[in-house]
A and B are shown apart, each in its own frame.
Chain A
């Protein structure tokens, strides 16, 4: 009898302790902060842990988008493993394998083709994603195909509406194992490292180097843990250089040699020793001159970079005989205004005149000044540069030699 009583007393103490434990565990539960984004109307508890995450961009306000629309994941779970278990693309929901669910949709970035707003289709068909140039060129060099037209890409892709003369209708997925030439096989195994769905280098910070984030999430270097949360159209040259100055191909060993130093001087540390640059090419950011079609594709599948990269010195400077093309903003819906809205480094309004490419893409960060000179505002820096047309200068270039390479002969800066 006494024994049972004593045991009961002991057991009661144990029960009391376990109840205290329950209370303690409950008090340590993350404060259930919910966010109910207007777009979905479903509450999300991601911010219970991710409290100090900065808003990704002014275009994606968190009160409207929330987290799950882009990232996936379990919106109700307060357990990290479960909450993250269904996230799309891990650290990078814009990875091309999931980009359609994360960023796409007709209300978002795979909007209508007519308006050229299907950015995902444009990127998927662009040389940055397909890597057609390198594949076609290597296959041509080693005799696997008679021309340099692209037949293969990193993945198979089809373009339903070819709009340019160099556009290709579809690509098969490049499969090195199907190739007979050992050099092409080696190329396939070791060289497919520079495209938007390539396996990024190890480390959370590099997870952003695929898909949209490869360009639009710059500055990962400053976030060694990879916790950068930013999307921008103000992309500094350093971001372009994470891929475009990452190393070089060694054609003898058919390998990609990653550079092991950390390039700091963009002019002298460029990977290509024979590359020539004029002053503006290494003082401006890449995107100050190169347009979105060049970077993200124009919706057509092209066989190589030269078919899509068309901005030349003359695009801004004109030739001896012609001034650069200009475009006066006519309406509020003008693409120049829309782009300036996304990256408000210039104060553009209807009636302003900007330079425009031969393809009609406005260089919205330029301005034609009243004295006949031009002004360019750095998209990533906000710096203002002024420049003049070639027309009326001492330039003695032949009229039929107007490509940038001819300009480089005189104007390239000695490296």
Chain B
């Protein structure tokens, strides 16, 4: 069989170990596919979405209810974004739990973290673009957090918001950030991230001399598996999109009035929970940054997996790094659950 364009995007053969679901969870590839879905559905939404405070929520309603298959496109965009968060988290957990981040993949690990943060911000900016009563609280509280930063806070706020309070300038800025500032950035960084995977010798496995399993698979087999994953994910996205429509709410009437839904988007609930503990600068900005810093430092300061231990889960040598990640994950999960508790 002659390899086609898609086959050519892959190496002719790779060690079979690198392509085992059990090892990689297929998380990185899934993330790339979800990004692709997001780009396509997002572009379709751009034909109807109107980034002005008066029209934004109405244009979202138009997309949801009146554009042919618009609801499907929007719901798929929404669910791809939520799945992407989960898949990226799974990807990060896989990389840490298998010790794959070690040199020479340290830099790519950092690239991945930057991508993670960018995707979280993409998700948040996309959420704000709804500009309806459901996002009102998060918009006001989230942007006010910036003001708490010493020295630069007010300037940062004005830079992001485009004025002394959220308004038309804010929406157009979030729109621009969503599509160019973050969207384009993520596309470029993803390309770089994938390039670095190839440059760093593919997915982490022991060097050839230490490899127990010499089996290799061809790019035909690899593409086949990827197609399988893509079909499955598409089906899941459609099913989610039909049975669980993306949130939508009535247009914002007045940004100064209190919203009836005073909760952050789900991926920021853990931060919202900490905000109840006191100083918003400490709990809302410093702690999340420290969490990111700890994650970034894992390949540089903590003991790493040995060459022979690569390619499988839970290598003994990087136990500490795994404990750190488990700690952080538990923290985020428990805080999120606390925030979800009724009456909290």
Contact = CB atoms under 8 A, between A and B. Distances in A.
B333 interface: no
B235 A18 contact: yes
Interface string B47-81: 00000000000100110111011011000000000
Nearest to A20: B238
Contacts of A8: 224, 227-228, 231
Given A22-B72, A22-B242, A86-B250, A11 B235 contact: yes
Nearest to B248: A82
Contacts of B241: 22
A350 interface: no
A76 B241 CA distance: 20
Contacts of B251: 74, 86
B221 A79 contact: no
Given A22-B242, A82-B248, A76 B62 contact: yes
B58 A7 contact: no
Interface string B199-232: 0000000000000000000000100110110011
Contacts of B245: 79
Interface in A1-37: 1, 4-5, 7-8, 11-12, 14-15, 17-19, 21-22, 25-26, 29, 32
A78 B224 contact: no
Contact of B231 (A1, A12, A78): A12
B287 interface: no
Interface in A194-231: none
Secondary structure of the A contact surface, majority rule: helix
A82 B250 contact: yes
B18 interface: no
Contacts of A82: 61, 248-250
Contacts of A77: 61, 64-65, 248
A174 interface: no
Contacts of A74: 61, 250-251
B65 A15 contact: no
A21 B72 CA distance: 11
Contacts of A19: 238
A29 B69 CA distance: 10
B148 interface: no
B165 to A, nearest CB: 23
A93 to B, nearest CB: 16
Given A17-B235, A19-B238, A82-B248, A4 B65 contact: no
A4 B221 contact: yes
Contact of A79 (B65, B235, B238): B65
A21 B243 CA distance: 10
A32 B245 CA distance: 18
Interface string B65-99: 11011011000000000000000000000000000
A9 to B, nearest CB: 10
Q: How large is the interface on A (under 10, 10 to 19, 20 to 34, 35 or more residues)?
A: 20 to 34
Interface in B104-155: none
A364 interface: no
A22 B243 CA distance: 10
Contact of B65 (A14, A18, A76, A85): A76
Q: How large is the interface on B (under 10, 10 to 19, 20 to 34, 35 or more residues)?
A: 20 to 34
A21 B249 contact: no
B234 A78 contact: no
Contacts of A32: 65-66
A79 B66 contact: no
A45 interface: yes
A26 to B, nearest CB: 6
Contacts of B234: 15, 18
A130 B266 CA distance: 48
A76 B221 contact: no
B323 interface: no
Contacts of B72: 22, 25-26
B337 interface: no
B242 A79 contact: no
B66 A18 contact: no
A12 B245 CA distance: 23
B175 to A, nearest CB: 20
B239 A4 contact: no
Contacts of A11: 228, 231-232, 235
Contacts of B66: 32, 45, 76, 78
Interface in A305-354: none
Contacts of A12: 231
**Candidate in A17, A22, A76, A79 with the most chain B CB atoms within 10 angstroms:** A76
Contacts of A4: 221, 224-225, 228
A226 B264 CA distance: 38
A7 B228 contact: yes
Contacts of B62: 76
Contact of B248 (A7, A26, A79): A79
A45 B58 CA distance: 13
B235 A85 contact: no
Nearest to A76: B61
A81 to B, nearest CB: 10
Contacts of B224: 1, 4-5, 8
A85 B250 contact: yes
A12 B62 CA distance: 31
Contacts of B228: 4, 7-8, 11
Contact of A15 (B235, B242, B248): B235
B134 to A, nearest CB: 10
Contact of B232 (A14, A21, A25, A85): A14
A4 B26 CA distance: 14
A12 B227 CA distance: 10
Contacts of A78: 64-66
A18 B263 CA distance: 32
A18 B250 contact: no
Contacts of B221: 1, 4
B231 to A, nearest CB: 4
Interface string B242-270: 10010011110000000000000000000
Contacts of B249: 82, 85
Nearest to B66: A32
Interface string A348-368: 000000000000000000000
Given A21-B242, A26-B69, A86-B251, 19 more contacts: A1-B221, A4-B224, A5-B224, A8-B231, A14-B235, A15-B232, A18-B234, A18-B235, A21-B239, A22-B69, A22-B238, A22-B241, A25-B242, A76-B62, A77-B64, A77-B248, A78-B64, A78-B65, A79-B64
10 contacts: A8-B227, A11-B235, A18-B242, A19-B238, A22-B238, A32-B65, A76-B58, A76-B65, A77-B61, A79-B65
Pairs A-B, 4 closest by C-beta atoms? A18-B238, A76-B61, A78-B65, A11-B231
